Amino acid sequence: MHPWERDARLIKEALIKGPQAYGVIVEVACTRSSDELLGARKAYHSLFDHSIEEDVASHVDSSERKLLVALVSAYRYEGPKVKDDTAKSEAKKLAHAIKNADKKNLVEDEEIISILSTRSKLHLKAVYKHYKEICGKNIDEDLTADMILLVAVHCLCIPQTYFSMVLDASLTHNADKKVKKGLTRVIVTQADRNMKEIKEEYQKLYGVSLSQKIEVTAKGNYKDLLLTLLARGN
């Protein structure tokens, strides 16, 4: 399957499954390049006779709607330039919004949505760094109650860590079927992209290589397929 079609179908499936699968929409929207996401949007339109934005807006009736629509609509600058003073200012805005989270729903905060959906990934990594300098901790620690926001930040700022966490959860002995699907999704979508970095991060986080973990967890032809795809990322 062409990567654009695959991503379009992943989003469609997530919309059908509902809130527990919305993280997959965020994953596709935030870990693909601008051109890849645009390609997925074109494929979705061709396959389903609707735009992704239209279907997200009509299917999602929870507080995550605005953020999800903004993320799937994004077309980010991908050059090397980052305005550090702007990144620091936006880190302060995020810190202020999170500090006052008891007064409103964070995932609907217009400032947060704007920052996460319009800024380049390099810029957001600078914001991530400044947030820690300002608050003395990673923004992750302040977003544990807002899962979609947490997934968005992970995918945009530390994608290797995000993918490693998805893989480890899917390789847990008692993981349910929905979680286990993450193993196939990540290996297939990232085999020709960032697999080397993901494998390095997995080893650092869990003290065992990803290939070793798959060796003792997966079975048969499925295991062989996963290991073959992993090897392509060397």
Q: What CATH number does the domain containing 180 carry?
A: 1.10.220.10
> Is position 183 within any domain?
yes
**Same domain membership, residue 186 and residue 142:** no
**Same domain membership, residue 123 and residue 141:** yes
Count other Cβ atoms within 10 Å, centred on residue 189: 20
Which of 72, 101, 132 is at the close of a domain? 72
Which of 127, 157, 187 is at the close of a domain? 157
**Same domain membership, residue 164 and residue 227:** yes
> Is position 129 within any domain?
yes
- CB-based burial label for 172 (10 Å; 0-12, 13-18, 19+): exposed
* pLDDT per residue as tens, the chain (234 positions): 899 999 999 999 999 999 999 999 999 999 999 999 999 999 999 999 999 999 999 999 999 999 999 999 999 999 999 999 999 999 999 999 998 876 568 999 999 999 999 999 999 999 999 999 999 999 999 998 899 999 999 999 999 999 999 999 999 988 888 888 999 999 999 988 899 999 999 999 999 999 999 999 989 999 999 999 998 766
**Same domain membership, residue 100 and residue 41:** no
What's the full length of the chain, in residues? 234
> Is position 78 within any domain?
no
**Same domain membership, residue 90 and residue 68:** no
pLDDT attached to residue 65: 96
DSSP 8-state code for residue 175: -
**Same domain membership, residue 198 and residue 138:** no
pLDDT attached to residue 223: 92
Tokens 């992970």 appear where? 154
Closest among 89, 105, 198 to 148, alpha carbons compared:
105
Domain count, the chain: 3
> Is position 79 within any domain?
no
- CB-based burial label for 99 (10 Å; 0-12, 13-18, 19+): exposed
**Same domain membership, residue 108 and residue 65:** no
- The domain in which residue 201 lies consists of 160-232
The CA-atom distances, in angstroms, between 47 and each of 6, 15, 24, 27, 183 are 11, 15, 19, 20, 25
Which of 104, 122, 157 is at the close of a domain? 157
